[in-house]
Structure 1
């Protein structure tokens, strides 16, 4: 793919918005004006409350790992990455709807790199579900930790072992202040007791809503897990994010937000590799592993206290092109397995996105 097919800047589109664009690590969110939200709800027939606020989410091909953005020798982003993530997550959202799980925020995908979503009040929780002992969980376990995320693990577990029950290890999304038993850092681990004691501080309105969040996590994980198993794949762990949004008939409801079940937010293994005791990553984790083998000082990538040093290193040191090329192939292949068809080619995505949002949605200012 050419550099023209890669979208790395996604927060500079001239759209009419109600407040400043939120530019995340991978996605940019354009919060629509109330009048445009009402108009689109009516024109497009979106099944949401008439007073709902909408947003346009534009995904990029940027690559974030260890909380830093990386570039290769000749590429600023991973070709096809954004379109693959959007397509996979949209597929899972549709599957959730068919299985009558909790609702989600996605309303329409007018371009492979664009979502129209309903806005919601995000919970300050990253809800992580784990089926196998690997990654940061294994590193902590191997160093002797047995209470992880408020869950006590027994002695004698092996790397890559499957848990008898799905493990829920939540962490904070952003910094939550003023709670005695919660560290004031981003991505701080949360024990079940702390989460239940301080549910209101994380945006939940009741303990029943917290229980609904856990149920949605488990049912969403199992829905994806069953589908991947049909392709001989294992969902190792994944992250969910939730929000509170108005319902069609008054009141509020818990909904899935952000993305679900993608190679960016999940680890995915082939079952036959795992059975041989040599699982290979089919997710962004393969880039993390390649990066840890490539740098001289692996601790720099893992130590939260060295974030400034890590960020400077990522800006100054392009990784080999093969890292991005291999990851691009992984994302495309994973999307094709899940969707049953190849992704469309991305050429001049910024121009095409602007054309669509102007001509079909009337959102370009």
Structure 2
């Protein structure tokens, strides 16, 4: 079996019993279970949710997206070996730590396979909750151009690239296109201020105004828990994106939880501590892949300029990256996952067949 066969690139074609269309994102696919199957699993597995809670099977893939495009490699490599398992392992590790430290629950109820989560339906808060401890990336690019106000926060003069910020910053942006919010353009991923959120908290899907402070507290606490744990491994937690949502507890009350993924190399920048002290930035996250793409193509503006999306999509569709590039990314993801979790990431021989077998025998969810 070739390495390309071990990569789970297509994850929206599993024969999971569902009566709704499969929702496929850049990396994950979501299969909503039937009402009967949801109820049966809640009772059989004693999940701590109301019996009428809709459940879904969330299957991660090994696809790699950057600059809003999916990239592929030569030799039929449609993803990065080990990436999906590494991402899930890291998220699972942090979610457990959050719960153990009394922060908040996540949407995950069960983990049948390294590629699979069983999740409860959550109502997402329409905010990409971004936290930054260092100035780099898009913030640095804007700072160099003279911008000093970020999401209503004023930055001082004289900051240096990749330096630690005076304090941990929360720089939220919109999740999806939100219409009709004064002062907030109706485009995806646009920076917003705390005042934007306060004045329009219901438009962002908050149930109560007080929940804004709760989300900020969970964001800061979650960031600090991960930063402290990474610090023990001599890794620097540079910045990250969290997502939040509401679920019902067993008694039917709303509670704010962490959802999607947390503290992964896809949603965060993680730097090697020793290298940073020596004046080098060594990325243990997808940022390394982004930099590689910027250096690989002669016109990096295509990747940075949202007005050139057609050219960018063509670039991703028509180019196969050298396989050593994808293997380098694989090494980065697997190494950081093993460092964080303290456990080996084992590559499945045939992830799809394994997932089907487990969901069939242990959950009776295959049609």
CA distance in 1, matches of 2:290, 2:347: 26
* Residue number in structure 2 paired with 1:22: 23
CA distance in 2, matches of 1:72, 1:343: 22
8 Å CA contact retained: 2:133, 2:164: yes
Quote the offset at 1:18 in angstroms: 3.8
| Deviating 4+ runs (over 4 angstroms) | none
CA distance in 1, matches of 2:172, 2:19: 32
Quote the offset at 1:82 in angstroms: 0.2
CA distance in 2, matches of 1:42, 1:87: 26
Query: Unaligned regions of 5+ residues in structure 1, if any?
Result: none
Quote the offset at 1:358 in angstroms: 1.0
Quote the offset at 1:345 in angstroms: 2.2
Q: How does 1:1-365 map to 2 (within 5 A)?
A: 2-74=3-75, 75-365=77-367
8 Å CA contact retained: 2:104, 2:256: yes
TM-score by length of 2: 0.98
CA-to-aligned-CA distance 1:306-365 (integer Å, 9 cap, x gap): 112101110001112121100100111011101112112211111111111111111112
CA distance in 2, matches of 1:41, 1:164: 47
| SS of residue matched to 1:71 | strand
8 Å CA contact retained: 1:18, 1:34: no
CA distance in 1, matches of 2:151, 2:328: 33
Quote the offset at 1:205 in angstroms: 1.4
CA-to-aligned-CA distance 1:164-197 (integer Å, 9 cap, x gap): 3211011111100111210111101111111111
8 Å CA contact retained: 2:81, 2:347: no
8 Å CA contact retained: 1:21, 1:30: yes
CA-to-aligned-CA distance 1:213-254 (integer Å, 9 cap, x gap): 111101111111111111001100011011111112221010
Quote the offset at 1:119 in angstroms: 1.1
Structure 1 window deviating more from structure 2 (179-188 vs 272-281): it is 272-281
TM-score by length of 1: 0.98
| SS of residue matched to 1:107 | strand
CA-to-aligned-CA distance 1:266-315 (integer Å, 9 cap, x gap): 10011122222211111000000011011111110001111121011100
Query: Unaligned regions of 5+ residues in structure 2, if any?
Result: none
Q: How large is the RMSD of aligned CA atoms in angstroms?
A: 1.0
Quote the offset at 1:90 in angstroms: 0.4
Quote the offset at 1:261 in angstroms: 0.5
CA distance in 1, matches of 2:347, 2:305: 38
Quote the offset at 1:15 in angstroms: 1.3
